[in-house]
Amino acid sequence: MQRIVVIGGVAAGPSAAAKARRCAEKADIKLFERGPNISYAGCALPYYVSGIVKDRRKMLVVTPEEFRARHNVDLRVQHEAVAVDPAARQVTVRDLVQGKEEVFPYDALILATGASPFVPPIPGAKLPNIFTLRTVPDADRIREMIATKEPKHAVVVGAGLIGLEMVEALEERGIQVALVELFEHVLPPLDADMAYLVEKKLRKKGVRVVTGDAVTEFVGDEQGVRVVRTRNGLELAAELVIMSVGVRPNVELAVQAGVALGANGTIAVNERMETNVPGIYAAGDCAESYNIITGEKVWSPLGSVANKQGRTAGANAAGGEARFGGVTGSLISRIWDLSLGCTGLSEREARQRGLDVEVIHVHPTNLAGVFPGAQALAVKVIADRRSGRLLGGQVVGGIGTDKRLDVMATALKGQLTVDELFDIDYAYAPPFSPAKDPVAVAGIVTSNVLKGDVHSITASELWEWIKRGDDLVLLDVRTPKEYQHERIADAVNVELDALRERIGELDAGKNTVVYCRQGLRGFLAARILQQCGFEQVSNLSGGMLSWPYQVEKGPVSDQKAAQVGERGEPAP
């Protein structure tokens, strides 16, 4: 009888054991989990804290009893594997309740030991009321503290997925929250221009957002934390702190067994989830993945990835020939009614790898414009300039954000070009999408730029031009009313529909940057100017909706709004 031992529960371990059973009905399968639960909804923990998920029982995906009955697995919770002997193919397991140890032989061993929250060695980090959130008992302790102590102020350290979701959870419980992030913007997997939209939402909700800063000390007493101090001299009131600065893979058992680690500190595996040690597999948050875009080994500690890796490891441990298909780095989250996510390479990652990329922003609506509730989505596309291949995408908006990210993730898996994004036969009806789906719009806009129909410039590139004092004309082609309300400093206004008759007022020899609200009118204006002898014309990608920098607001003189002067400069 084949003997398969799985170490670790939650996502990868149960997936591995269940798949192994489906492949080998007669095998002896044992699963050991050191915690009290075999599988729980880890990614839903912030929603349990907030009260959106009210029933604790729903947090438990399957009970140990249910799993044993369904899959005929010798499942033992509160049992910790403490040693592996690869030569003898044995695992030593400690019963954490009785304190006894027992040795179990194996033919195939699957390490699904997961990851643990990382808490930096900050003075005061062990004060009461400083929590991490990884398990259901963690969430129970946070809920109990809120119910009994009724904190008024909290600090969340780390603005990743869990950090952002915990900000919402605490705010929903009536707690004033400050968010501290070491990186220059929240949600570091996003680029700064897209994270800016998230930060606007947080501030609108009353969250104090502190970026580019680090916590240096927690101050309090035996009753708990009181103040959080930062490197930049801030003192933030806090009776509750959530540490969400990341996790570290649990690889101690693997290292003890002679299993090799990858460059990122996780267990090195191949596409079959095999390690360098015969008979030992690894899956989940302790194991590495590979990026299908770059081919690089990466770490992707997400429940979705863990389930797929566990399934692959379980099939192969039972004698199968399964392959793990890699990742694109897809992630998504939600704060209040704003969804945000990305897939593939960010602009920052692409440029760090020396790739020649085109970056485009568009703001189409998620539903048909005529349909109630239609809202603009902010869509960012990163594409290879030479091949036109899609390299990455980011979306921030409301309903339908997930759909567009999933389409782009599928396109990345299929190595589609931006032209092919437009060719996809999207499901269309007004309650679900415009006739031109936002991903199709992003694809055709990017394609137009790559074909040379227009030169596109991102907000960050234009901002650098402005700061350097480059000699250029900023041409606002929106209506005078829009221009009066808000505009880029020193821009002049010629409405698109009047551009042809007033084109003689512009200097064709000037470097001209046109912009509108979201990019379409700017594109049309750029095409007009290019075909009328203007050789240096750029369209601001995404228009004012993608402009996070300084603006002028309020009334302007009629003369400035209506004239550009002989040399393309604002009239005096």
Domain boundaries, the chain: 3-42+60-115+248-317, 130-245, 331-449, 455-562
Asked if 391 contacts 293 with a C-beta cutoff of 8 angstroms, the reply is yes
CATH topology of domain 130-245: FAD/NAD(P)-binding domain (3.50.50)
Q: Which two tokens stand for residue 311?
A: 């399934």
Beta bridge partners of 228: 218, 236
The pLDDT of residue 557: 62
Whole-model pTM: value is 0.89
What's the pLDDT tens digit per position in 93-115? 999 999 999 999 999 999 999 99
Asked if 411 contacts 403 with a C-beta cutoff of 8 angstroms, the reply is no
Class of domain 3-42+60-115+248-317: alpha beta
Asked if the model's pLDDT at residue 561 lies above 80, the reply is: no
Asked if the model's pLDDT at residue 278 lies above 70, the reply is: yes
* Ramachandran angles phi, psi of 145, nearest 5°: -60, -45
Q: How confident is the model at residue 59 (pLDDT cuts 50, 70, 90)?
A: confident
Question: Region 449-470: what's the mean pLDDT?
Answer: 93
The pLDDT of residue 565: 37
- In the chain, what is the straight-line distance between the N-terminal and C-terminal CA atoms, in Å? 91
The pLDDT of residue 544: 94
CATH superfamily of 455-562: Rhodanese-like domain (3.40.250.10)
Q: What angle do CA 155, 211, 349 make, to 5 degrees?
A: 125
Annotation says 532 is catalytic: no
Pairwise CA distance, residues 258 & 264, whole Å:
17
What's the pLDDT tens digit per position in 398-455? 999 999 999 999 999 999 999 999 999 999 999 999 999 999 999 999 999 999 999 9
Is-same-fold flag (3-42+60-115+248-317; 130-245)?
A: yes
Q: What size, in residues, is the chain?
A: 572
Pairwise CA distance, residues 85 & 94, whole Å:
15
The pLDDT of residue 559: 52
The pLDDT of residue 255: 96
Residue with tokens 């440029």: 351
- How many H helices and E strands in the chain? 17, 34
User: Helix, strand or coil for residue 113?
Assistant: coil
Asked if 36 contacts 138 with a C-beta cutoff of 8 angstroms, the reply is no
Asked if the model's pLDDT at residue 499 lies above 70, the reply is: yes
The pLDDT of residue 314: 97
The chain-wide mean pLDDT, for the chain, equals 92
Q: How confident is the model at residue 554 (pLDDT cuts 50, 70, 90)?
A: confident
Catalytic residue among 43, 286, 342, 532: 43
Per CATH, domain 331-449 is 3.50.50.60: yes
Percent of the chain with pLDDT over 90: 85
The pLDDT of residue 556: 72
Question: Region 51-62: what's the mean pLDDT?
Answer: 85
Q: How confident is the model at residue 250 (pLDDT cuts 50, 70, 90)?
A: very high
User: Residue type for 306, please?
Assistant: A
User: Helix, strand or coil for residue 391?
Assistant: strand
The pLDDT of residue 552: 87
Q: How confident is the model at residue 558 (pLDDT cuts 50, 70, 90)?
A: low
What's the pLDDT tens digit per position in 515-539? 999 999 999 999 999 999 999 999 9
What's the pLDDT tens digit per position in 116-168? 999 999 999 999 999 999 988 999 999 999 999 999 999 999 999 999 999 99
Asked if the model's pLDDT at residue 481 lies above 50, the reply is: yes
The pLDDT of residue 239: 95
User: Could you give the strand order of the β-sheet that contains 101-105, starting from the edge strand earlier in sequence?
Assistant: 79-85, 90-95, 101-105
What's the pLDDT tens digit per position in 366-375? 998 888 888 9
Pairwise CA distance, residues 155 & 240, whole Å:
7
